[in-house]
């Protein structure tokens, strides 16, 4: 019987193809399928908010520049990592992340909780030339971000695509995407209030690159870096190491 | 989803293993089936024949 | 190229190229001056450059011979040339980005030349450009010789080869323009991914159709590996790259997988790209070119079958070892670790099978650098698979993950295994394809071999040192129970090793350049083995079957 069966496989290339699929598909199915029901087991994070349009634009710049090649955003459940970077990362914290940017290499430090650790001015100076701030650094200089105006005309498209994939952006958020991007980087403007209204009072509104009149890619990237680890405080509750969440006001 | 998470995980943890064992029993039977021996010997020597033309 | 096609085949080639050019025009129109518009222009130029030879030879006389009586070697020759070209490009980019880590100002303040944008041009250039072209070329060669049948298409092999290279060009130019999904080893954006699906399905159908032409009931084992490579890469590519573009005129898309699911899918893809792109296909090369070069059959055919199914089955479970101690559920990590350790069995079975094949032919290994390339590849395959299983063990991974140790491990596999087996196969293949007696210079092959070995060793020893040092510095505590080193301390300690790895990489690149010269000289200067007319097929060349 097996002889007959295998002769058939040998004779027919198609049968052989099916055998390869049968062997190769099972591992992926077994490991991936249960993750679709993971919401049932993942910690609740009722305070979790979505990225503002400016932060999302900053995240897209982080993606475009390939920052993941040197910076992870995943603090593992190891003592030294928790003491160095903060509470270990939870699955819920990246639930709006497309793609996830957990990374695989730390040529530079982990950034999962970098939000609030440094001032906006530090980030801007560091991005313009890392060696002005950290002489030993081997990070590339991103001075061009401060010179490049942020593209905003397609921000609504970005939010709409995210919503179609399941991120809870409201119609109002999509309609006001451009205004909110301007408002978040111009605290004294009329648009600033809308940001707090739609994304919560805790959302940082600041002239990130130091110039409120102009919206640059630097504004967006710094806004994103400053929100890393601060979309929810779930990681600071019920974990082994209790810590204070970074305070946005200091 | 119709299945809850625990059911899926339990299924994943058990059936993958049974599948693995069943699959490899078949592979081993195939590889060591006596009448396949001739075919394998032929296959491994045929590439060395040095002929450089299609068969038809 | 075109002279061997009939008029109707020339027509279909022209139609395909016109359709590609039209797609390019549509992209250029929809993308305007955005990145996609630039890519549209590249597509138009690519199609135009191929359309020119097709149209200029359109009315040339049709081929008169019976093409079924000979193998289709022209696409293989072009594939080898493209593979070597990509090797130079990809390895040069690798040396450049390695140097940037030691001397960060080497990006000259450009946006396009930063480490983050250039690093994927290196990985794509060597994995997909060099590795992919070498795989396509050798798979076309192996499937024809082992099936003793001509490729089952006249235009489709060219479509696969050039279509695949168009994908590589779109990928690499995209990163420089800032078009990337930031999914490691799957960076190209949605339209390039869609194009690759078309190309890859054609590749699969062509391969299956060619195998179906064989007379022998049994399919030689090298083809199993190539088929698993083609098939599983298709599955991986499609699942991992499911994405929603923000608009049809934009290069930007968002993956459908969020957060933790994306992590699992990405590393299921990432690790199996290693398995089926960088292992299965190259094992196919090993199982054909090693016996051919040594003039001895493979040590154990049964063992090759057992290890084939082991690799196909086990590898798919192993991806989650990239996510130890992360937010991925613990049981998935454990499963990944277990299968990664089990993988050592089929991996060492393959490496051992290759080395035992050479048992009794060691004098050939000593005298023939081409065979030595393949022997060294099998040794490095054994080393890097052992290291891979070891690094997948959770407590080891706690130290090694996020450090240069992973980078060293990858390069032990990529330089020591993938590149060496490719060079060994190419040096076997070039004289056979171009019908030359031998390679132009055995001495240059020796130079290439020793530069490649020395470069690889310098590289991986530097990365072992830096990775382990870095991992230990991160977890060292003072007597007071505080962390002993800042992150910056660990970075400063890396600089000597970053310089050493740049030197190692440069040596490897130099060896590759020597290899290119040698191949070029072989084609240009070495006399042909048989007069050209004898190469024409003989009408009554009926070969006895079984």
Query: Nearest-CA residue of chain B relative to A23?
Result: B23
Confidence of residue B56 (pLDDT cuts 50, 70, 90): low
Give how far B41 is from chain A: nearest CA, Å. 15
Is the pLDDT higher at C71 or at B11?
A: C71
From the list A102, A98, A243, A85, the residue with the least C-alpha distance to C324 is: A102
Q: Is B5 on the interface with A (CB under 8 A)?
A: yes
pTM for the whole structure = 0.94
Partners of B20 on chain C (C-beta within 8 Å) are 313
Confidence of residue B20 (pLDDT cuts 50, 70, 90): confident
Q: Other CB atoms closer than 10 Å to residue C421's CB: what's the count?
A: 29
Any idea what DSSP says for residue A44? P
CA–CA separation, C309 vs C284, rounded Å?
13
CB contact set of C428 (below 8 Å; sequence gap of 6+): C289, C292, C293, C370
Partners of A6 on chain B (C-beta within 8 Å) are 30, 33, 36
pLDDT above 70 coverage of chain C, percent: 97
Closest partner residue to B56 among C68, C309, C335, by Cβ?
C68
pLDDT tens-digit map of C9-31 = 999 999 999 999 999 999 999 99
Query: Does position C91 have pLDDT exceeding 50, yes or no?
Result: yes
Alpha-carbon distances, residue C538 vs B53, C69, C70, C197 (angstroms): 10, 7, 9, 39
Mean pLDDT value across residues C362-370:
96
pLDDT, chain C, mean: 94
Residue C534: predicted pLDDT? 46
Query: Does position C214 have pLDDT exceeding 70, yes or no?
Result: yes
Tally C-beta pairs within 8 A across A and B: 35
- 3-class DSSP state of A216: strand
Q: Mean pLDDT lowest for which of C130-134, C256-260, C532-536?
A: C532-536
Residue A242: predicted pLDDT? 46
CA–CA separation, C212 vs C224, rounded Å?
13
Partners of A165 on chain C (C-beta within 8 Å) are 244, 254, 256, 258
Q: Is C541 on the interface with B (CB under 8 A)?
A: yes
**Residue with tokens 């991120």, as numbered in its chain:** A167
CA–CA separation, C162 vs C69, rounded Å?
25
What are the residues facing C255 on neighbouring strands?
Answer: C243
Confirm if C304 and C287 have CB atoms less than 8 A apart: yes
Is the pLDDT higher at A238 or at C360?
A: C360
Would the ipTM clear 0.90, i.e. be above it?
yes
CB contact set of A207 (below 8 Å; sequence gap of 6+): A120, A185, A186, A187, A219
Give chain A's contact residues with B (Cβ, < 8 Å): 2-3, 6, 22-23, 26-27, 30-31, 33-34, 36-38, 40-41
Partners of A110 on chain C (C-beta within 8 Å) are 402
Residue C540: predicted pLDDT? 46
CA–CA separation, C319 vs C400, rounded Å?
16
Confirm if A140 and C104 have CB atoms less than 8 A apart: yes
Mean pLDDT value across residues C525-529:
88
Burial class (CB in 10 A: 0-12, 13-18, 19+), C247: middle
- 3-class DSSP state of A193: helix
pLDDT tens-digit map of C444-467 = 999 999 999 999 999 999 999 999
Closest partner residue to C109 among A83, A136, A141, by Cβ?
A141
Return per-residue pLDDT of chain A as tens, 250 residues: 344 444 444 456 788 888 899 888 888 888 887 777 766 666 678 889 999 999 999 999 999 999 999 999 999 999 999 999 999 999 899 999 999 999 999 999 999 999 999 999 999 999 999 999 999 999 999 999 999 999 999 999 999 999 999 999 999 999 999 999 999 999 999 999 999 999 999 999 999 999 988 999 999 999 999 999 999 988 888 655 445 555 544 4
- Whether C117 sits inside 8 A of A66 (CB atoms) is yes
| C98-115 exposure pattern, b = at least 16 Cβ within 10 A, e = fewer | bbbbbebebbeeebebbb
Confidence of residue B2 (pLDDT cuts 50, 70, 90): low
- Whether A20 sits inside 8 A of C231 (CB atoms) is yes
With contact defined as 3+ CB pairs under 8 Å, the chains touching C are A, B
Confirm if C258 and A39 have CB atoms less than 8 A apart: no
Mean pLDDT value across residues C498-514:
98
Whether the upstream peptide bond of residue A58 has omega within 30° of 0, thus cis, is no
Residue C531: predicted pLDDT? 56
Closest partner residue to B53 among C69, C291, C292, by Cβ?
C69
Query: Nearest-CA residue of chain A relative to B21?
Result: A23
Partners of A22 on chain B (C-beta within 8 Å) are 23
CA–CA separation, C267 vs A213, rounded Å?
43
Query: Does position C536 have pLDDT exceeding 50, yes or no?
Result: no
Partners of B55 on chain C (C-beta within 8 Å) are 148-149, 214-215, 543, 545
* Alpha-helix residue ranges (DSSP H) falling in A77-170: 79-85, 120-128, 130-133, 144-147, 155-164
CA–CA separation, C176 vs C197, rounded Å?
23
Partners of B26 on chain A (C-beta within 8 Å) are 2
């Amino acid at each position: 019987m097996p002889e007959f069966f295998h002769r058939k496989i040998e004779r027919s290339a198609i049968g052989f193809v099916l055998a390869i699929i049968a062997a190769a598909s099972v591992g992926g199915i077994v490991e991936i399928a249960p993750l679709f029901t993971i919401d049932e087991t993942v910690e609740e994070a009722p305070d979790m908010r979505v990225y503002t349009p400016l932060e999302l634009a900053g995240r897209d710049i982080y993606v475009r520049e390939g920052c993941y090649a040197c910076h992870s955003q995943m603090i593992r459940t190891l003592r030294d990592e928790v003491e160095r970077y903060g509470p270990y990362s939870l699955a819920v914290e990246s639930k709006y992340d497309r793609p996830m940017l957990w990374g695989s290499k730390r040529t530079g430090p982990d950034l999962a909780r970098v939000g609030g650790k440094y001032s906006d001015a530090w980030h801007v100076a560091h991005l313009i030339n890392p060696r002005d701030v950290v002489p030993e650094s081997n990070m590339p200089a991103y001075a061009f971000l401060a010179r490049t105006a942020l593209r905003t005309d397609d921000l609504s498209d970005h939010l709409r695509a995210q919503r179609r994939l399941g991120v809870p952006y409201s119609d109002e958020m999509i309609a006001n995407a451009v205004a909110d991007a301007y408002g978040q980087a111009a605290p004294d403007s009329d648009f600033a209030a809308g940001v707090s209204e739609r994304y919560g009072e805790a959302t940082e509104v600041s002239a990130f690159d130091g110039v409120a009149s102009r919206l640059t890619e630097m504004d967006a990237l710094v806004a994103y870096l400053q929100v890393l680890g601060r979309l929810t405080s779930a990681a600071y509750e019920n974990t082994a190491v209790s810590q204070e969440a970074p305070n946005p006001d200091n | 989803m119709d299945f809850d998470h625990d059911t899926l995980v339990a299924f994943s943890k058990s059936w993958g293993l049974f599948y693995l064992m069943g699959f490899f029993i078949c592979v081993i039977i195939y590889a060591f089936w006596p009448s396949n021996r001739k075919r394998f010997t032929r296959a491994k020597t045929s590439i060395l024949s040095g002929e450089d033309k299609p068969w038809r | 190229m075109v002279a061997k096609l009939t008029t109707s085949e020339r027509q279909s080639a022209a139609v395909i190229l016109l359709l590609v050019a039209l797609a390019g025009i549509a992209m250029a129109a929809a993308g305007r001056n955005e990145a996609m518009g630039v890519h549209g222009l590249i597509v138009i130029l690519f199609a135009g450059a191929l359309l020119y030879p097709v149209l200029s030879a359109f009315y040339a006389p049709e081929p008169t011979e019976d093409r079924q009586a000979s193998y289709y070697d022209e696409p293989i020759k072009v594939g080898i040339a493209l593979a070597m070209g990509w090797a130079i490009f990809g390895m040069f980019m690798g040396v450049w980005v390695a140097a940037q880590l030691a001397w960060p100002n080497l990006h000259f303040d450009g946006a396009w030349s930063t480490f983050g944008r250039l690093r994927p041009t290196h990985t794509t250039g060597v994995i997909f450009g060099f590795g992919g072209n070498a795989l396509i070329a050798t798979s076309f060669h192996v499937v024809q010789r082992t099936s003793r049948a001509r490729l089952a298409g006249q235009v489709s092999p060219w479509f696969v080869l050039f279509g695949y290279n168009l994908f590589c060009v779109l990928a690499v130019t995209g990163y420089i323009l800032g078009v990337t999904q930031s999914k490691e080893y799957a960076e190209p954006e949605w339209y390039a991914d869609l194009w690759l699906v078309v190309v890859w399905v054609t590749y699969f159908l062509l391969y299956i159709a060619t195998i179906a032409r064989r007379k022998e009931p049994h399919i030689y084992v090298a083809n199993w590996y190539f088929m698993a490579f083609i098939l599983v890469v298709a599955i991986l590519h499609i699942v991992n790259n499911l994405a929603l573009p923000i608009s049809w005129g934009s290069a930007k898309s968002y993956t459908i997988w969020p957060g933790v699911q994306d992590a699992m899918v990405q590393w299921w893809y990432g690790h199996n790209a290693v398995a089926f792109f960088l292992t299965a296909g190259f094992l196919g090369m090993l199982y054909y070119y090693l016996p051919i070069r040594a003039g001895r059959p493979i040590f154990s055919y049964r063992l090759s079958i057992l290890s084939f199914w082991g690799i196909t089955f086990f590898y798919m479970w192993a991806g989650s070892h990239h996510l130890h101690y992360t937010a991925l559920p613990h049981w998935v990590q454990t499963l990944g670790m277990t299968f990664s350790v089990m993988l050592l069995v089929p991996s060492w079975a393959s490496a051992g099978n290759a080395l035992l094949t050479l048992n009794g032919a060691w004098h050939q290994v000593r005298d023939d650098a081409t065979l030595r390339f393949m022997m060294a590849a099998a040794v490095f395959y054994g080393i890097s698979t052992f290291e891979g299983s070891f690094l997948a063990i959770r407590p080891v991974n706690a130290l090694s993950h996020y450090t240069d140790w992973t980078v060293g491990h990858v390069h032990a596999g990529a330089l020591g295994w993938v590149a060496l087996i490719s060079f060994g196969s190419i040096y076997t293949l070039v004289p056979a394809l171009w019908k030359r007696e031998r390679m132009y210079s055995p001495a240059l092959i020796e130079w290439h071999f020793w530069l490649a070995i020395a470069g690889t060793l310098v590289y991986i020893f530097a990365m072992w040192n830096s990775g382990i040092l870095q991992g230990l510095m991160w977890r060292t505590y003072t007597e007071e129970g505080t962390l002993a080193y800042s992150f910056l301390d660990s970075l400063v300690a890396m600089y000597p090793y970053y310089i050493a790895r740049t030197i190692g990489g440069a040596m490897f690149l130099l060896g590759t350049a020597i290899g290119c010269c040698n191949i070029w000289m072989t084609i240009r200067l070495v006399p042909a083995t048989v007069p050209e007319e004898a190469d024409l097929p003989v009408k009554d060349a009926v070969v006895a079957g079984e």
